[in-house]
Amino acid sequence: MLPAYKPNDYVVCLKTKKIKANDVIIMQTDDLGKVVKRVKSISGNSLTILGDNKSYHSPIYDATHKLDTVIGKVLFKLF
């Protein structure tokens, strides 16, 4: 999620299921563990995600993810 979020940044998140497109979320993945990503779209109980770094592509961007993998919505980053 560079440049907005860097490794080891602290973020404050709210545990909620009220997620919409363009929200930044923390989600649990099987392969990578907890990740911070931006919601691209939501359809029913599934969502697609993307990162802010346009020069990097991750295979998780190509998959749909269940809404219940979302841990919370990022409210802000602590400095």
Domains by residue range for the chain, with CATH: 10-78 (2.10.109.10)
Residue 10: the pLDDT is 95
Return the pLDDT at 29. Answer: 94
Q: Within a 10 A sphere around the Cβ of 54, how many other Cβ atoms?
A: 7
Tell me the pLDDT tens digit for each residue of 10-44. 999 999 989 999 999 999 999 999 999 999 999 99
What lies within 8 Å, CB to CB, of 2 at 6+ separation is 52, 53, 56
Q: Over range 47-70, report the average pLDDT.
A: 94
Distance CA 51, CA 36 (A): 8
**Residue pair 53/1 in contact by the 8 Å Cβ criterion:** yes
For 33, residues 6+ apart whose C-beta sits below 8 A from its C-beta are: none
